Amino acid sequence: MYYIIESEYVGPNPDEMVDEDRILITTAPALVNTNQEPRISGWCGTTNDISITAHGEYRTRAEAEKAMSDIFGDVRSSNVEWEPWLAVDSDEDPADHLVAMYRPGACQPLSRSATEDWVSTAFDQIQADTTDEQLEELEEELEAEANEQGMTLYRESLGSFLERKRDELRDELEEAE
């Protein structure tokens, strides 16, 4: 049998810890963190800012991958360190039950600060008279460029970075008058 297990970062720094979530396909079910009982579906608990949720049992890896796609949409392969939240015998290595590991999304998300660094390269395209529509176009161009390189920008703040730069230029212009 194959199991889908979601590991989601729920800690205090979501702006910077943007690519910590993982989706595992394993041959052992997840464990509930309080009683160490196996769980096939549902929330298993949160430990050290990581929430674990089980997403079902599947007869084949192909069925598990199809279900993962249905549940999470686009994912990308990952080979990072992971915590063994699996129901295995004490003499077994949980890593032996890991079949595949993925990250949500087709592109790697950049943190808030990394997005600000990325956006700063486009500041020379912004003038005091840049319109909101032009900022939106620039935002779309920057996102497309990041996507071409396998990344996605921190969308919650992208527009505000650009607007802040334009507003600084407007303030400088007003002070010079």
pLDDT of residue 79: 73
Give the model confidence (pLDDT) of 8-60 as tens digits: 999 998 877 888 899 999 999 998 988 889 999 999 999 889 899 999 999 99
For the chain, residues with pLDDT lower than 70 are 80-94
pLDDT of residue 113: 84
pLDDT of residue 84: 58
Q: What are 138's two structure tokens?
A: 């620039």
Dihedral angle at the C-alpha atoms of 17, 23, 28, 33, nearest 10 degrees?
40
